[in-house]
Amino acid sequence: MSLTTSSPTPRRRALVIGASRGLGLVLAEELARRGWEVVATARRNADALLALAEASDGRLTVESLEMTSPEELAALRERLGGRALDLLFVNAAIDRGDLPITEVGTEMFTEVMITNALSPLRAVEALRDLVPPGGTVAVMSSDQGSVSRNTEEGYELYKASKAALNQLMRSHATRCADDGRTKLLIDPGHNRTELGGPDALLAPEESIPAVVDVLEAQAGAPGLQFLDLHGETVPW
């Protein structure tokens, strides 16, 4: 993987939460390739991310974070000090299979909801003050969280967790409406990742550059938007 920078741009700073693999890894790589200064977090198995950092000429650094731990979020905030970010991007999700809700145990339900809905918003709340007015706070969502598009069977728990994530981000945006930050929920499409499976239509190397185009194009836009990788609005 190459991090050769494209045309020179003013140095922008991003924090990508959840970048050890899949979409988060490619997102950190793409931002660094475009000249961003990127801090990327991983909780384990970060060999690919560490390799990117070594090849980045200092544009990409790695921090350890278990996002479900409020204590680790607070420690990361302390380590980052007064660093100002143009972009905070929270990427994290798990899936525990295609089960009807009647077969989902309480422990599984709790695990998925904590990882996919509660913890991303905890991360936003813990780290958002690093993003000054005019910066962007973005969270990786999915059109699977769209209630109006839920017209096909399957993956009931995952869909519910993403719908909960969207609602919590909406509540955050309502509570922080006057903070001057751009707020985005991003649907990256169905990608061939460990989560998306081998039969997905998109490769992260195809979808993530489009996602970054959207992030850059929306910088400074007011309010909360739920957008896909083409910049089109996803219905709630």
Q: Are the C-beta atoms of 19 and 93 separated by less than 8 Å?
A: no
Distance set, CA 36 to CA 7, 163, 177, 216 (Å)? 12, 31, 27, 11
Q: Taking 50 as the threshold, does the pLDDT of residue 122 lie above it?
A: yes
Write down the pLDDT at residue 29: 96
pLDDT bucket at 221, cuts 50 / 70 / 90: very high
Tens digits of residue pLDDT in 53-79? 999 999 999 999 999 999 999 999 999
| Single-letter code of the amino acid located at 103 | E
Of 44-53, 173-182, 188-197, where does the model show the most confidence? 173-182
d(CA 146, CA 125): 23
Q: Pick from 140, 195, 136, 190: which is nearest to 165 by CA?
A: 140
CA angle 50, 52, 58 (to 5 degrees): 95
Query: Which range is least confidently modeled, 32-41, 121-130, 186-195, 218-227?
Result: 186-195
Q: Which residue has the higher pLDDT, 192 or 224?
A: 224
Percent of all residues in the chain with a pLDDT value above 90, rounded to a whole number: 83
Would you say residue 169 has pLDDT above 50?
Answer: yes
Quickly count: other Cβ atoms within 10 Å of residue 218's Cβ: 17
pLDDT > 80? residue 194:
no
In this predicted structure, what is the pLDDT of residue 7?
46
Q: How far is CA 167 from the centre of its chain?
A: 16
- DSSP SS3 for 170: helix
Residue 231 CA to residue 20 CA, distance in Å, equals 25
**For residue 5, pLDDT beyond 60:** no
Q: Does pLDDT of 8 surpass 70?
A: no
Tell me the average pLDDT of the chain. 92
- Max distance between CA atoms of the chain, in angstroms, equals 54
Q: What is the structure's pLDDT at 199?
A: 73
**Residue 132: how many CB atoms within 10 A of its CB?**
12
Cα radius of gyration (the chain): 17
Residue 75 and residue 157: Cα distance in Å, rounded? 31
Whether the model clears a pTM of 0.85, i.e. scores above it, the answer is yes
Which domains are present in the chain? 13-228 (3.40.50.720)
Helix (H, G, I), strand (E, B) or coil at 90: strand
